[in-house]
Amino acid sequence: EIVLTQSPGTLSLSPGERATLSCRASQSVSSNYLAWYQQKPGQAPRLLIYGASSRPTGIPDRFSGSGSGTDFTLSISRLEPEDFAVYLCQQYGSSPPTFGQGTEVEVK
Amino acid sequence: QVLLVQSGAEVKMPGASVKLSCRASGYTFTSNYLHWVRQASGQGLEWMGTINPSAGTTRYAQKFQDRVTMTRDTSASAAYMEMSSLRPEDTALYYCARGSKWGYYYFDVWGKGTTVIVSS
């Protein structure tokens, strides 16, 4: 199965700053089938990005995804107070779908 | 509003079975696969398997192949996940999640999760 490694483990930033999160796959993700989720304490994950770079309806455009093959990035252009959370990547290009361990974006 | 409402917390003895439910509303139940994903405390998310509510067909992660059964009741817009031979390491938060409209295995709506505790 594909192992996803996210870095850094924790990102300490201030509101208004840009966040750049990495997700690296142990092998190429087929068709760039890579999703990103946001998870806050006590809540279920929330889909932010699918297909590496597509945003579902209702997700603010400050969230953007990029990358291909084995290296993917989630960027948050200007952090809002509600963006401080854990971010998870997930590949669905091969079975079983697998998740990364997450990057926590915390208030500096 | 699309919602997935999951059943309440369960406490089970090792070796027992548990059956969790997930009731869907706000969309056509048979249009999207339903998946089960678990999260043990301090651990990552782990995909367990999926059911096609329309056909009733299932696909399980190899790890759970022998212990998990997923079913659905289309009249109730509900999906169920039964796990047998429970072990303490099965203690986790179990989510049901709706698969994408086109059958891809990413998840656009999640339930709030059901806590399962396995302890003697």
Q: What is the pLDDT at residue B43?
A: 86
Is the pLDDT at A92 greater than 90? The verdict is yes
CB B113, CB B93: distance < 8 Å: yes
- Tell me what the pLDDT averaged over chain B comes to: 96
Q: What is the pLDDT at residue B60?
A: 97
Across A1-108, the runs of DSSP E, i.e. the strands, are: 4-7, 10-13, 19-25, 34-39, 46-49, 63-68, 71-76, 86-91, 98-99, 103-107
Is the pLDDT at B106 greater than 90? The verdict is yes
- Tell me what the pLDDT averaged over chain A comes to: 97
Between A43 and B101, residue with greater pLDDT: A43
Compute the residue count for chain A: 108
C-alpha A105/C-alpha B2 separation (Å) is 28
> Which chain A residues contact residue B112 at CB under 8 A?
43-44
Q: What is the pLDDT at residue A50?
A: 97
Reported as a pLDDT band with limits 50, 70 and 90, residue B101 is confident
Q: What is the pLDDT at residue B102?
A: 80
Q: Which of B2, B59, B68, B105 best probes binding to A when mutated, by most A CB atoms within 10 angstroms?
A: B105
Q: What percent of chain A has pLDDT over 70?
A: 100
What's the rounded mean pLDDT across residues B49-77?
A: 97
For residue B26, how far is the Cα from the chain centroid?
19
What is the count of residue pairs from A and B with beta carbons less than 8 Å apart? 48
Q: Is the dihedral of CA B100, B106, B109, B113 positive or negative?
A: positive
B115: distance to nearest CA of chain A, Å?
12
Of the candidates B49, B51, B43, the one whose C-alpha atom is nearest the C-alpha of residue B93 is B43
For residue B112, how far is the Cα from the chain centroid?
11
Beta-carbon separation of A44 and B61 below 8 A = no
Q: What is the pLDDT at residue B27?
A: 96
> Which chain A residues contact residue B59 at CB under 8 A?
95
C-alpha A85/C-alpha A48 separation (Å) is 13
Q: What is the pLDDT at residue B103?
A: 84
Q: What is the pLDDT at residue B90?
A: 97
Q: Is B74 helix (H, G, I), strand (E, B) or coil?
A: helix
